[in-house]
A and B are shown apart, each in its own frame.
Chain A
């Protein structure tokens, strides 16, 4: 893995504006995405994963608004680009594999036109036959026959639609791909194949990829690093091996102990309580009411995300003491 930075996000804040207060859906999130790596982002529903993905592409809809931070891609801050610059950047530098690909294709337009659209919006003066060849080639790369180009979305199965979305995402060879729960609507067999396809094309392009999801098994197979989000914050970012072997944050530990393991038969531990409402976050560390090891300090001071050995980062006051 090279250490070129594909995307650097610093102190990103996305708030949902309500009449009474701002809900901090993404709260002071910073991370670096290296070229060619796959960063998994996991978290419970409502922890801000999808909001983060949409905000990076500036596709968030009101009442969501970006309240601060920067997202640097190719030396430019995405959050400061004007509408036209952002339009040009989308897809050519930063593409999206959407959550719910079932409904992500326009039902009344042929696949080839939906793919050609993306090319025509970014590259001038391509001939029709050039575009067609490129589309056929891409369909082949994701394991679909050329005939799919002439079809409408309703003529394709769920797995095929997802492959079309993957082909679409790499059509302009972007440096960053954001896959928002790319397989959540598929059954496990198709999931595996689609994920394999996605990983293959990503590796061929050497694009960096953010995979959002909550399937830890899938993450273990695909991601190079894993970021855990909790109540709008990143609480741990670690290389995938060390994350599963030696998770730092108490939340990560509980997450892993709640996973079934073939080696040992045991009662699966859950995490007591539930994620707090973003409207009424606990003081200090948002996880402290559910944390088995919380101390008085945790209730008062928000722990910053700190760097530890082995490229690991965690936001917990107690990590140093335990890691000693």
Chain B
């Protein structure tokens, strides 16, 4: 891999992060008033007595404590610095916990559930889609096309509700929600792992089933184009075994646009899955965001938003770095 390419990608990544942090800084400050005043207003509205003469002093003290008495550019620099150190401030509803602590606690659940089900969906969908376009595949494969089309049209939260109703509520085969049975202490033993898997099946299934059609149909489309390429005719003329043509010549090339979609899909996994986590009471980042919105935990919302931008940027960076290995033409 060329160093220039690597450096260029890393600079791009850094610029995106700084821009995201800047937006995160500007947007709340566009609102009239300041946070301390807003809190006081809220207290007054609830009928709490405010300190009268002492009020101005208290306000000044709090402004000083949060650094709001500093000139705006100093505030900006220290905000950027904090953000880059991944210091996202205090959560209001979990005070004195910090936003990043709450995020890091939810992250493994989201990554475990969503990244794994998205990757599985990608792998299975792409393979199946490639088979659907392959002329020598079993005819039965193509009967799944309408099935995939319908599934990809169903919103995953709806399918999630249906799955919960059937398998958890009516049949009682699987738990209704949560990431593990309430009352158990998370530890790394077999029982706990099995419990986590049992709780993960339904949410994972709802994501997998609704997204697999997207990958399968997308792959089928690209594959049909690739199968018409001259290099496929030559591969066949060379007398290569079908398996070799399918994987190394057809699927290998058809996967390239799919991988780009995967980068975007992985990035939006966290934000896109809020509803799944809400339906299944799953303690991930989406669940955190949902609760933060409900309790007006601005710092938390801001923190999660920044974090989501970060996940998109990181997954795009990863794909950018992997892509030249998949497609040698991309570097130049």
A and B associate: yes
Interface residues of A (CB under 8 A from B): 54, 57, 59, 87-92, 95-96, 98-109, 117-118, 121-122, 152, 154, 165, 168
Contact A122 B239 (CB under 8 A): yes
Q: Which residues from chain B contact A59 at a C-beta distance below 8 Å? A: 233, 236-237
Q: Within the complex, what minimum Cβ distance (angstroms) separates A65 from chain B?
A: 14
Q: Which residues from chain A contact B53 at a C-beta distance below 8 Å? A: none
Contact B230 A100 (CB under 8 A): yes
Residue from the list B234, B244, B328 in contact with A105, Cβ < 8 A:
B234
Q: Which residues from chain A contact B248 at a C-beta distance below 8 Å? A: 106, 109, 117
Report the nearest B residue to A84, measured CB to CB: B241
Contact A108 B234 (CB under 8 A): no
Contact B233 A104 (CB under 8 A): yes
Whether a CB of chain A sits under 8 angstroms from the CB of B105 is no
Contact B234 A88 (CB under 8 A): no
Number of residues on chain B facing chain A (CB within 8 A):
22
Q: Within the complex, what minimum Cβ distance (angstroms) separates A79 from chain B?
A: 16
Q: Which residues from chain A contact B238 at a C-beta distance below 8 Å? A: 90-91, 95, 117-118, 121, 168
Residue from the list B229, B231, B239 in contact with A121, Cβ < 8 A:
B239
Q: Which residues from chain A contact B195 at a C-beta distance below 8 Å? A: none
Interface residues of B (CB under 8 A from A): 229-231, 233-241, 244, 248-249, 252-253, 256, 326-329
Q: List 16 A-B contacts (CB under 8 A).
A: A59-B233, A59-B236, A87-B241, A91-B237, A98-B230, A98-B234, A104-B233, A107-B231, A107-B327, A108-B253, A109-B248, A109-B249, A117-B244, A118-B239, A121-B241, A165-B234
Measured between alpha carbons, how far is A152 from B325 in the docked complex, in Å?
Answer: 12
Measured between alpha carbons, how far is A105 from B238 in the docked complex, in Å?
Answer: 12
Residue from the list A54, A91, A106, A168 in contact with B249, Cβ < 8 A:
A106
Q: Which residues from chain B contact A88 at a C-beta distance below 8 Å? A: 239
Q: Within the complex, what minimum Cβ distance (angstroms) separates B166 from chain A?
A: 43
Q: Which residues from chain B contact A108 at a C-beta distance below 8 Å? A: 252-253, 256, 326-329
Q: Within the complex, what minimum Cβ distance (angstroms) separates B237 from chain A?
A: 4
Measured between alpha carbons, how far is A154 from B331 in the docked complex, in Å?
Answer: 12
Q: Which residues from chain A contact B234 at a C-beta distance below 8 Å? A: 96, 98, 104-105, 165, 168
Q: Which residues from chain B contact A99 at a C-beta distance below 8 Å? A: 230
Q: Within the complex, what minimum Cβ distance (angstroms) separates A180 from chain B?
A: 10
Q: Within the complex, what minimum Cβ distance (angstroms) separates A322 from chain B?
A: 41
Contact A107 B244 (CB under 8 A): no
Chief secondary structure at chain A's binding surface: mixed
Report the nearest B residue to A62, measured CB to CB: B135
Q: Which residues from chain B contact A98 at a C-beta distance below 8 Å? A: 230, 233-234, 237
Report the nearest A residue to B227, measured CB to CB: A61
Measured between alpha carbons, how far is A106 from B251 in the docked complex, in Å?
Answer: 12
Q: Within the complex, what minimum Cβ distance (angstroms) separates A141 from chain B?
A: 18
Contact B329 A107 (CB under 8 A): yes
Measured between alpha carbons, how far is A122 from B240 in the docked complex, in Å?
Answer: 8
Knowing A103-B229, A108-B252, A121-B241 touch, does A154 contact B328 (C-beta < 8 A)?
A: yes
Q: Which residues from chain B contact A96 at a C-beta distance below 8 Å? A: 234, 237
Q: Which residues from chain B contact A92 at a C-beta distance below 8 Å? A: 239
Contact B237 A90 (CB under 8 A): yes
